[in-house]
């Protein structure tokens, strides 16, 4: 999702998830999360799923 300059984007996440997303964006960091779909609606966030298709953790 790309937000245009001056555009308001409604993001439906709980406060903790918003803090995590904001921190990752501010640090220009890759966010590794078990359910990356939780963060798909956050523009500018670089997120990857850290579990494979069988639910096992991927070693980074």
Query: Using an 8 Å Cβ cutoff, are 29 and 48 in contact?
Result: no
pLDDT of residue 28: 94
Percent of the chain having pLDDT more than 90? 23
The predicted model scores a pTM of 0.67
Query: Using an 8 Å Cβ cutoff, are 47 and 34 in contact?
Result: no
CA distance 43 to 3: 6
Instruction: Indicate if the pLDDT at residue 1 is higher than 70.
Output: no
pLDDT of residue 20: 92
Instruction: Indicate if the pLDDT at residue 57 is higher than 60.
Output: no
Q: Name the pLDDT band for 4 (thresholds 50, 70, 90).
A: low
Query: Using an 8 Å Cβ cutoff, are 40 and 21 in contact?
Result: no
pLDDT digits (tens, 9 = 90+) for 19-29: 999 999 999 99
């Amino acid at each position: 999702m790309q937000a245009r300059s001056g555009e308001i984007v409604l993001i439906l996440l709980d406060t903790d998830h918003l803090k995590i997303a904001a921190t990752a964006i501010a640090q220009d960091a890759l966010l590794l999360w078990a359910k990356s779909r939780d963060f798909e609606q956050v523009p500018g966030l670089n997120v990857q799923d850290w579990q494979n298709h069988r639910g096992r953790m991927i070693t980074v």
